[in-house]
């Protein structure tokens, strides 16, 4: 019989509270900026804060005001000065400290802006130990200074400054523990802004960034391989698209909305992929009597898409994925108090129509690229069919030997009869650990959350994918089973897990296995890395134990700090393998706060060069690198503890 649990705490008027100003943001920062972090990851909150400020200045430029933005950043502090209209002087304090206050709630002030919900600058203010804003308008200025969202000083004064707005802030180190701004991340951000806003100059720490050719410059500057044909550049009202093909696998398409880098894609990226596939499919049906499959058309595609829409709906405050369906959608209040919507064309139909007309016209005017394009698509088609046949035979062999069930311990998320209602909500929480050996696999399997975490066990070291053909990969039992477990037989969009986590021992063999697994993804499934699905699990190297306390340390510095702060006799354990850590200890390392390093592909360095250096035949060059980066004697001594 169920027991009724009755709270003994009185619940009355005193329990009802109203959080003043931006206090709610400080209490729940994740609701507004996603993650916190220390600046090591591009998705960390300090870059979201910087973007919120710069986005406001970008919106001023988009509205036709100010062609220069000055950005200065040190390890801990950032300032942004634009030369737009400036925040209205009597609204400066409200604009940065009162939620749901802003100038972007209708289309009069900002027709196609990034921020719409009046939260951006408030979040920066709330999450900073020092925040200063000053607006300049026609010889007068209005300033305000805050600490942790609380007003310290404000006022108005005469000025000789040009119109615009200045914002300075220092993120709160109690929230962003040990943070530092990574200048490479910010430099990449500035370049993207310049590509998307022709005519705008961004001066970052003394270096100016300006683009004359928009997305075409982005593609050419970041091309990691020689394209098979000159990139096609299509520009229209509210849309810009660049595309070409290379010989690498997968798709590499950057996407943007109103100047915002939507690294997780969304409706506009899906529309571009569909539009290119449909247009080229219809073109070659007519031109060459060929009926190509969309996945063969998109194989090896390199490109970018940028659209401008009114009142974009992003999924989450970090604005990395577009959720909007329409180019615009205005809420209209009728005379009787009811509401209706003035909807423009869907993003899908808008992009499809634009690509169908302009890409088809381009191909008829540049017939020299048609045979190159046809040869590329035909080659992708032939390879896909070969691989599909090989994979089918390999899967049948594996099923007969019952090896599949021994390799994958799936999560309950994928059993529809067990979690029907919560299936969609849990999608973002799913992950799969790729590990090696029965010991480590057994530890993780016992410690995992079986609802959303799966485990795939490798047997020894996988083959070096960089040196092997796609057909050889398909014939390989281990990698074929991994492809099957991940759901990648047809398309990376079918990926069964949101996070792919490589979990290997922190010794030489473990590092080698890690590199082999990452090489497999980099060569044949780079989209998984570009879309942010691949991670490396950090596991503790040391356990520092006293009579009353146990601390787990992930490097020598943490170990030394734990020893110094310990009270009493210290016992130090060095973990040499995942299997040495008991499953009940391991539960804490793969929970909500597990330490993950996201795997990234640099836009500046060609992917083929990276793989050749680490996994190719350049033995001497690699040996010299290792010698130059050998650990010190003290570091080696720490490892042997």
Q: What is the pLDDT of residues 413-443, one digit of tens each?
A: 876 544 444 455 577 789 999 998 778 888 8
Instruction: Indicate which CATH number applies to the domain containing 487.
Output: 3.40.50.670
305 occurs within a structural domain: yes
Which of 163, 182, 209 is a domain's end point?
Answer: 209
3 occurs within a structural domain: no
Cα 68 to Cα 448: distance, rounded to the nearest angstrom: 51
Which of 194, 209, 224 is a domain's end point?
Answer: 209
pLDDT band at 274 (very low <50, low <70, confident <90, very high): very high
Instruction: Indicate which CATH number applies to the domain containing 267.
Output: 3.30.230.10
**pLDDT of res. 633:** 43
**Residue 161 and residue 274 share a domain:** no
Which of 209, 240, 271 is a domain's end point?
Answer: 209
**Residue 452 and residue 433 share a domain:** yes
CB burial of 104-125 (b: ≥16 within 10 Å; e: otherwise) equals beeeeebbbbbbbebbbbbbbb
**Residue 563 and residue 440 share a domain:** no
Q: How far is CA 539 from the centre of its chain?
A: 23
Cα 458 to Cα 446: distance, rounded to the nearest angstrom: 17
Q: Check: CB of residue 483 under 8 Å from CB of residue 391.
A: yes
Count of domains for the chain: 4
393 occurs within a structural domain: no
* Residue 630 in tokens: 């050998």
**Residue 227 and residue 113 share a domain:** no
Higher pLDDT, 563 or 440: 563
**pLDDT of res. 288:** 87
**Residue 448 and residue 554 share a domain:** no
Main-chain phi, psi angles of 372, to 5 degrees: -65, -45
- Among 366, 328, 379, 113, smallest CA distance to 243 is for 366
**Residue 255 and residue 123 share a domain:** no
Q: What is the side-by-side order of every strand in the sheet holding 542-545?
A: 550-553, 542-545, 571-574
625 occurs within a structural domain: no
pLDDT band at 361 (very low <50, low <70, confident <90, very high): very high
**Residue 512 and residue 428 share a domain:** yes
Range of the domain at 547: 543-574
At 544, is the secondary structure helix, strand, or coil? strand
**Residue 361 and residue 244 share a domain:** yes
pTM of the model: 0.74
Using the predicted structure, report yes or no on whether residue 235 has a pLDDT greater than 80: yes
Non-local CB neighbours of 637 within 8 Å, separated by 6+ positions = none
627 occurs within a structural domain: no
Q: How far is CA 148 from the centre of its chain?
A: 28
**Residue 230 and residue 374 share a domain:** yes
**Residue 204 and residue 72 share a domain:** yes
Cα 272 to Cα 347: distance, rounded to the nearest angstrom: 10
pLDDT, mean of residues 193-213: 93
**Residue 459 and residue 412 share a domain:** yes
**Residue 59 and residue 204 share a domain:** yes
394 occurs within a structural domain: no
- Among 248, 232, 372, smallest CA distance to 304 is for 232
337 occurs within a structural domain: no
Pairing verdict, β 68-73 and 140-147: unpaired
Cα 268 to Cα 306: distance, rounded to the nearest angstrom: 8
């Amino acid at each position: 019989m169920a027991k009724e649990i009755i709270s003994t705490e009185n619940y009355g008027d005193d329990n009802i509270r109203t959080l003043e100003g931006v206090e709610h943001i400080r209490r729940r920062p994740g609701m507004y900026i996603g993650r916190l972090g220390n600046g090591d990851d591009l998705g960390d909150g300090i870059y979201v804060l910087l973007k919120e400020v710069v986005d406001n200045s970008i919106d001023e430029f988009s509205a036709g005001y100010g062609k220069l933005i000055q950005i200065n950043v040190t390890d801990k502090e950032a300032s942004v000065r634009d030369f737009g209209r400036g925040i209205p002087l009597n609204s400066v304090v409200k604009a940065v400290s009162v939620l749901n206050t802003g100038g972007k709630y209708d289309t009069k002030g900002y027709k196609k802006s990034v921020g719409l919900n009046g939260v951006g600058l408030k979040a920066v203010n709330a999450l900073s130990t020092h925040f200063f804003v000053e607006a300049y308008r026609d010889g007068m200025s209005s300033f305000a200074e805050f600490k942790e969202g609380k007003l310290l000083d404000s006022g108005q004064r005469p000025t000789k400054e040009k119109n615009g707005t200045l914002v300075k802030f220092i993120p709160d180190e109690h929230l962003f523990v040990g943070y530092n701004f990574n200048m490479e991340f910010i430099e990449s951000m500035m370049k993207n802004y310049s590509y998307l806003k022709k005519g705008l100059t961004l001066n970052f720490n003394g270096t100016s960034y300006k683009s004359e050719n928009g997305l075409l410059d982005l593609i050419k500057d970041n091309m990691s391989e020689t394209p098979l044909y000159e990139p096609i550049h299509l520009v229209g009202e509210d849309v810009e698209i660049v595309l070409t093909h290379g010989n690498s696998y997968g798709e590499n398409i950057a996407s943007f909305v109103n100047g915002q880098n939507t690294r997780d894609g969304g409706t506009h990226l899906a529309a571009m992929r569909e539009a290119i596939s449909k247009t080229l499919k219809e073109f070659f049906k007519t031109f060459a009597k060929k009926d190509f499959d969309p996945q063969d058309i998109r194989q090896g595609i390199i490109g970018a898409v940028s659209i401008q829409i009114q009142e974009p709906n992003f999924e989450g405050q970090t604005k990395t994925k577009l959720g909007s369906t329409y180019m615009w959608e205005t809420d209209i209040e009728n005379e009787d108090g009811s509401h209706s919507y003035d909807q423009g064309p869907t993003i899908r139909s808008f992009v499809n129509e634009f690509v169908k007309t302009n890409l088809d016209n381009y191909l008829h005017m540049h017939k020299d690229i048609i045979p190159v394009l046809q040869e590329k698509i035909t080659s992708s088609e032939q390879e896909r069919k070969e691989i599909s046949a090989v994979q089918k035979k390999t899967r049948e062999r594996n099923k007969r030997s019952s090896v599949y069930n021994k390799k994958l311990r799936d999560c309950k998320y994928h059993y529809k009869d067990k979690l029907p209602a919560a299936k969609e909500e849990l999608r973002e929480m799913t992950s799969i650990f790729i590990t090696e050996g029965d010991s480590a696999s057994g530890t993780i399997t016992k410690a995992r959350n079986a609802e959303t975490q799966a485990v795939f066990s490798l047997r020894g070291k996988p083959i070096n994918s960089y040196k092997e053909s796609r057909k050889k990969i398909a014939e390989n039992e281990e990698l074929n089973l991994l492809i099957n477990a991940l759901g990648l037989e047809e398309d990376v969009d079918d990926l069964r897990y949101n996070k792919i986590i490589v979990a290997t021992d922190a010794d030489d063999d473990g590092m080698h296995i890690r590199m082999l697994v990452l090489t497999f993804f980099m060569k044949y499934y780079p989209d998984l890395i570009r879309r942010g699905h691949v991670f490396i699990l950090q596991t503790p190297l040391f356990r520092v134990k006293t009579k009353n306390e146990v601390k787990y340390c992930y490097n020598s510095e943490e170990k030394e700090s734990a020893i110094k702060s310990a009270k009493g006799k210290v016992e130090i354990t060095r973990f040499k393998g995942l299997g040495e850590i008991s499953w009940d200890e391991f539960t804490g390392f793969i929970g909500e706060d597990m330490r993950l390093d996201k795997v990234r592909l640099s836009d500046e360095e060609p992917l083929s060069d990276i793989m050749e250096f680490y996994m190719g035949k350049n033995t001497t060059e690699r040996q010299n690198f290792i010698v130059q980066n050998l650990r010190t004697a003290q570091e080696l001594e720490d490892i042997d503890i």
